[in-house]
Chain A
Amino acid sequence: MSEFSRRDLLRNIGLSVTLGLTLDAQEAGHVHQMAAAEKQTAGGVYKPKVFNAHEWATLRRLCDLIIPADEHSKGALDAGAPEFIDLLASHNDEISALYTGGLAWLDAAMRKRNDATFVEAKPEQQTALLDLIAYRKNASPDLSAGIKFFEWARKMTADAYYTSKIGIEDLGYMGNKAVAKFEVPAEALEYALKRSGL
């Protein structure tokens, strides 16, 4: 992430020079913010601010299941989703309670079914539980709390993922650049016109 960002900054700064702009103060601010973010993960081991070791392992497994790495792109773990959730939980008691409670619910539900915590359970047991709580149609006195928690975990994991460099590449977003002229490639236009029949 940081390497890409630096390259990108250099590109932007180079651009600002050609346009004769003064982006320096702003870009310098970005560099500081990124340096701070890097320090947090120094040595490659992240120390969670809110979650204990078991909760952290559970959260990581959950994020990995929600947005896994596949042949197309890396997943939520590489995109820093657990760290994002931990950071916000550390600043907000409501979010913190939502996750400690939700992760404990996962363990309790798994124990009832398989006599194991969520992370200890086999992958197929984990997905069997998610197959229940990932859909509103399964709402029931037994499952509704889990469904609600999963909605939170899914949308926050998606936020962390798609706002990361990895997620942005996964989508194929190509903007946030300065260009001299706005152009629409003919192949994109033809693709849509043909399919629309317009």
Chain B
Amino acid sequence: MQVIRSSSVYDVVVVGSGAGGGTMVQVLTKMGINVALLEAGPMLNPARDFKEHMWPYQVPHRGAGEDGSFYLGKNPYFFGYFSASFGGWELEGEPYTVAPGNSFRWFRSRILGGRTNHYGRFSFRFSDYDFKPYSRDGLGTDWPITYDEIAPYYDKAETFIGITGTREGIRSAPDGIFQTPPPPRVYETLVQRASKKLNIPCIPNRMAVITRNTNGRPACHYCGQCGRGCVTASNYSSSQVQILPAMKTGRVKVISNAMARELITDGSGKVTAVSYIDKTTREENRIRCRSVVVAGGACETARLLLNSKSPRTPEGLANSSGVVGRYLTDTVGYAMSAQVPALRGVPRYDDDGMGGMHVYMPWWMWDRQKEAGIPRGYHIEIGGGFHMPNVGSFHGSCAKFEGYGKQLKESIRDEYGSIVHLSGRGEMIPNAQSFCEIDPNVVDRWGIPVLRFHFKWSEHELKMVDHMEQTFAAILEGMGGSPRRSPRPPEDKISVPGMIIHELGTVRMGDDPKTSALNKYCQAHDVKNLFVADAAPFVGNPDKNPTLTICAMAWRTAEYLAEEMRKGNV
């Protein structure tokens, strides 16, 4: 096959357009650096692609999919037909494998902006102690940076993106630069009151949604549909907030439908080009660069490095330590729901609000871990209210009430809006049994070797699920609900690995090149002009959703890279 080589050399080629790639593009172009951005999916046109404000009856299949696959367990729309996820657990022609006896699911979005178009937008700073877990309790590994080093970049990211919140002075949930949050919904006030009785703080959510006009973006209009993509860009997505505006500078060339295959190095070991498949022609192209930033998402990033083999680097690029692919983590997930009688028949109002909870419970036992009986913490997310009805919204009610006729109608109407959901999101400690590697037997439709996953929860995560169950039951009972505690063991109740979609840690940073792939600026120890800007460098996976930290870390790496380029070091 003929390889098409570009004649121009870009200052930086960024692989991947999610939170890390988007922040890179934003910061580098602002500093006058010429960037090429490779995205494995198509370009995004929000006005055409987002389904915000659509009623289910505006499509004849009501959101069940043209072929009704929603009903047969083959639903291609995990987050619903109207979601802006542009991907899923399985992508046609792009498989991954799971080692026997293991389970792992990998959600990929192929579109400009990646998963930031639809993600939850909860934006929590990591705490000071999250960066030094080993020093704290002897488990996991310390990061090569401190909270104080990253804090200025949290400030920058929060100021630019716009995050709601209030200053609370809680150590597990450091305060940031916040915009005014909307008030709690009715059921959220009940949760707050019930939590207070248990001495669990329940504070305004930190959400990447703007409540005042910011950088030319209009304030939120409270339609509750962040997950469908926001046509007014009132929430954060790397596509709308960073990349599309950066394209107006003329300093970024976006190459869509470009699946990175391999990083090409010269005799000195530096990256000189990125080889990618043009998905529209299936031709291999090479784009030349002075530096490369890999930000494909932790697993895709590890895959690209492991597939970049040369005689000098038989174990893959930037992998003399052998840690690339290791220490894969996901967030611990567990959920419980209950119908709350006090909410039955509550006067109707428009409670859409932001597309997610308005209040949440940060981890409250950070100074009493022994008492909690678990080494690490979790936060609690809240769901409920009068959501827009969708296919499936009342399957639970149908199964519960059974029957038919007027009585069924009345039961559903009466129950609507009275169910409260609590979800735990907890820290997983990296372990040696959880990693990804290249499957030597399988390639994708572009001929690129695919990942094989290994994953095991440890006793720490399983114990956490028991703690969540006790706590959630106490809160829901405090609201007058009667949640069902399950007799099943925690192994059956904990989320399936990968399903919280917080996979990270696969190209860890550290001070020692023998035990880490990247230095404290996310620059490869082995390859000076190779940087990583997604969650792959993370040394731990605290109970704080990773996107805000991805943005802050990428911002810091971008400034470092620009400075190193200016000095002529890369």
Chain A interface (Cβ within 8 Å of chain B)? 1, 5, 8, 12, 15, 19-26, 29-30, 33-34, 36-37, 40, 65-68, 70, 72-73, 80, 84, 87-89, 91-92, 94-95, 127, 130, 134-136, 150-152, 154-156, 158-160, 162-165, 167-168, 170-185, 187-189, 191-193, 195-198
Which residues of the partner chain A approach B60 to less than 8 Å between Cβ atoms?
Answer: 33, 36-37, 40, 84, 87
Which one of B56, B64, B386 lies within 8 Å of A175 (CB-CB)?
Answer: B386
Task: Find the residue from B68, B223, B346 having the highest chain A CB count within 10 A.
Answer: B68
Complex formed: what's the CA distance from A20 to B234 in Å? 13
Classify chain B: how many residues form its interface, as a range.
35 or more
Given A88, A173, A184, which contacts B68 in the complex, CB threshold below 8 Å?
A: A88
Asked if A182 contacts B223 (CB within 8 A), the reply is: no
Q: Are A184 and B349 in contact (CB under 8 A)?
A: yes
Given contacts A19-B218, A184-B186, A192-B342, contact A163 B68 (CB under 8 A): no
Shortest Cβ gap from B425 to chain A (Å): 24
Q: Report if A191-B346 is in contact (Cβ < 8 Å); known contacts: A159-B62, A167-B389, A171-B389.
A: yes
Query: A195 vs B68: C-alpha distance in the bound complex, in angstroms?
Result: 41
- How many contacting A-B pairs (Cβ < 8 A)? 237
B-side residues, CB < 8 A to A, are 47-48, 50-64, 66-69, 71-72, 182-187, 189-190, 193-194, 197, 218, 221-225, 231-232, 340-343, 345-354, 386-395, 397-399, 402-406, 408-410, 412-413, 416, 478-480
* Most A CB within 10 A of own CB, among B48, B50, B64, B194: B64
Say yes or no: B47 contacts A25, CB within 8 Å: yes
Whether the Cβ atoms of A192 and B186 lie closer than 8 Å is yes
Task: Find out whether the CB atom of B479 lies under 8 angstroms from the CB atom of A188.
Answer: no
CA distance A92 to B69 in the complex (A): 8
With A159-B392, A193-B190 as given contacts, are A70 and B409 in contact (CB-CB < 8 Å)?
yes
A137 CA / B480 CA spacing, docked (Å): 28
Contact of A33 among B58, B393, B404 (CB under 8 A): B58
Q: Cβ of A68 and Cβ of B388 under 8 Å apart?
A: no
Question: How far apart sit A70 and B72, CA to CA, in the bound complex (Å)?
Answer: 32
Query: When the two chains form their complex, are residues A170 and B409 in contact, meaning their CB atoms are under 8 A apart?
Result: yes
Closest chain-B Cβ to A154's Cβ sits at a distance in Å of 5
Say yes or no: A192-B66 contact (C-beta < 8 A), given A151-B398, A162-B389: no
7 A-B pairs with CB atoms under 8 Å apart are A5-B58, A67-B405, A160-B62, A171-B412, A173-B387, A179-B222, A195-B480
**B79 vs chain A, min Cβ distance (A):** 17
Closest to A96 in B: B68
Contact status B183-A66, CB under 8 Å: no
Query: Does the CB pair A171–B398 fall under 8 Å?
Result: no
Closest Cβ neighbor of B397 among chain A residues: A158
Q: How far is the CA of A136 from the CA of B410 in the complex (A)?
A: 20
Query: Are A135 and B403 closer than 8 Å at their CB atoms?
Result: yes
Q: Are B404 and A66 in contact (CB under 8 A)?
A: yes
Question: A1–B68 contact, CB under 8 A?
Answer: no
Give the distance in Å from the alpha carbon of A181 to the alpha carbon of B413 in the complex. Answer: 27
A194 to chain B, nearest CB (A): 8
Q: Which residues of B contact A185 (CB under 8 A)?
A: 347, 349
* Docked-complex contact A163 and B389, CB < 8 angstroms: yes
Query: Chain B nearest CB: distance from A66 CB in Å?
Result: 5
The CA-CA distance from A130 to B407 in the complex, in Å, is: 14
In the bound complex, CA of A66 to CA of B398 (Å): 11
List chain B residues, Cβ under 8 A from A68: 405-406, 409
Given A5-B57, A195-B342, check contact A91 B416 (CB 8 Å).
no
CA–CA, A30 to B48, complex, Å?
Answer: 11
A24 in contact with B403 given A5-B58, A175-B386, A188-B347 (CB within 8 Å): no
* Besides the known contacts A92-B72, A162-B393, A179-B350, 6 further A-B residue pairs in the complex with CB atoms under 8 A apart: A21-B218, A72-B409, A156-B71, A158-B394, A158-B412, A192-B187
- Residues of chain B within 8 A (CB-CB) of A25 are 47-48
B47 to A23, Cβ gap below 8 A?
yes
Partner of B48, one of A15, A26, A193: A26
* A135→B408 CA distance, assembly (Å): 12
Which B residue's beta carbon lies closest to that of A158?
B394
Known: A22-B47, A24-B47, A176-B223. A192 touches B190 (CB 8 A): yes
- With contacts A163-B57, A165-B55 taken as known, whether A171 is within 8 angstroms of B413 at the C-beta atoms is yes
